[in-house]
């Protein structure tokens, strides 16, 4: 049975604010990734040709559509080039786009990741992947989508930081509030900012609410 795998070795190249387009490399060739695998040039040629209309664009590997691939460049010797048109007429697509924009502009990490299957390896050098079956490409706004923190837990953690670092953290959060996010995400940020002046033990509107990946990514810069 084929095992679904995720690869985070990628690079962002350009963000077009007017058109809602993100360009970058969904995967980079000839570099050993965290699993010890090395993607070879041409490893996406078959899947990008045969499955071009079946490949989906997700956010952090959550199966919710946030964009469509306009182009997958299999001719670039550096990596699998991807041009993605975000669904700017949906809250999720627009928020994902502006999260990436905000993270990149403020020095935080963002990128792409592939989800799919390894179909063929080099029999003489097993770490080298000769062929993938690509299922989806994810736009990443966090390095660990599965690790969600509650609002109150994040505030507790932030209050353990030094005061100058705390001020810097909250300054970045306030800056994020000025981005063109959806009303739902702005409301989430506003709720989160009210916790700055509350005691961590004080009940919140929803202490089990998962922090947005944007907030998680910002927090991780300080730990």
Torsion, Cα of 130, 132, 137, 142 (10° steps): -70
Domain boundary among 92, 113, 140: 140
Report the pLDDT averaged over residues 55-82: 94
Q: What is the pLDDT of residue 134?
A: 94
Q: Considering the chain, what is the average pLDDT of its residues?
A: 82
| Pairing status of strand 21-28 against strand 5-7 | unpaired
Spatial contact of 24 and 114, defined as CB atoms under 8 Å apart: no
Q: Are residues 157 and 132 in the same domain?
A: no
Q: Are residues 20 and 81 in the same domain?
A: yes
Q: Are residues 78 and 180 in the same domain?
A: no
Q: Are residues 32 and 74 in the same domain?
A: yes
Structure tokens at 193: 């900012």
* Nearest to 180, CA basis, from 92, 90, 98: 98
Answer yes or no: is 207 within a domain: yes
Q: Are residues 18 and 88 in the same domain?
A: yes
Domain boundary among 87, 119, 140: 140
Number of folded domains that form the chain: 2
This model's pTM is above 0.85: no
Answer yes or no: is 166 within a domain: yes
Structure tokens at 71: 């182009």
Domain boundary among 140, 168, 190: 140
CA 142, CA 103: separation in Å to the nearest integer?
A: 10
* Nearest to 6, CA basis, from 130, 148, 137: 137
Q: Which residue carries 């505030």 as its tokens?
A: 155
Q: Are residues 130 and 201 in the same domain?
A: no
In a 13 Å sphere around the CA of 107, the CA atoms on its Cβ side amount to 5
More confident residue, 173 or 82: 82
Q: What distances in angstroms separate CA 126 from CA 8, 39, 79, 81, 217, one per listed residue?
A: 19, 11, 20, 24, 34
Please report, rounded to a whole number, the percentage of residues in the chain having pLDDT higher than 90: 42
Q: Write the pLDDT tens digit of every residue in 142-185.
A: 765 444 445 455 666 676 777 778 888 888 888 888 888 888 88
Report the pLDDT averaged over residues 109-120: 89
Spatial contact of 44 and 74, defined as CB atoms under 8 Å apart: yes
CA 57, CA 55: separation in Å to the nearest integer?
A: 7
Q: Are residues 198 and 124 in the same domain?
A: no
Q: Are residues 131 and 179 in the same domain?
A: no
Residue 12 belongs to what domain range? Answer: 5-140
How many residues in the chain?
Answer: 223
Q: Are residues 78 and 50 in the same domain?
A: yes
Spatial contact of 59 and 138, defined as CB atoms under 8 Å apart: yes
Q: Are residues 18 and 104 in the same domain?
A: yes
Answer yes or no: is 145 within a domain: no
Answer yes or no: is 146 within a domain: no
In a 13 Å sphere around the CA of 167, the CA atoms on its Cβ side amount to 3
Spatial contact of 39 and 125, defined as CB atoms under 8 Å apart: no
Q: Are residues 130 and 169 in the same domain?
A: no
Q: Are residues 155 and 108 in the same domain?
A: no
């Amino acid at each position: 049975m084929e095992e679904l795998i995720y690869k985070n070795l990628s690079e962002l190249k350009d963000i077009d604010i007017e058109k809602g387009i993100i360009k970058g490399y969904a995967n980079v060739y000839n570099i050993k990734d965290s699993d010890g695998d090395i993607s070879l040039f041409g490893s996406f040629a078959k899947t990008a040709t045969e499955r071009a209309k079946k490949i989906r664009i997700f956010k952090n590997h959550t199966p919710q559509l946030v964009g469509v691939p306009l182009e997958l460049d299999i001719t670039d010797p550096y990596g699998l080039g991807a041009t993605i048109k975000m669904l700017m007429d949906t809250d999720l697509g627009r928020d994902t786009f502006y999260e990436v924009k905000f993270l990149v502009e403020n020095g935080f990490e963002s990128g792409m990741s592939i989800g799919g299957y390894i179909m063929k390896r080099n029999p003489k050098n097993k770490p080298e992947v000769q062929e993938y079956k690509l299922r989806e490409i994810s736009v990443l706004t966090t390095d660990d989508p599965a690790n969600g923190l509650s609002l109150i837990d994040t505030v507790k953690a932030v209050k353990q930081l030094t005061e100058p670092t705390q001020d810097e953290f909250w300054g970045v959060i306030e800056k994020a509030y000025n981005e063109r996010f959806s009303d739902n995400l702005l409301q989430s940020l506003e709720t989160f900012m009210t916790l700055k002046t509350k005691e961590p033990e004080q009940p919140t509107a929803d202490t089990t609410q998962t922090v947005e990946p944007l907030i998680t990514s910002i927090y991780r810069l300080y730990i």
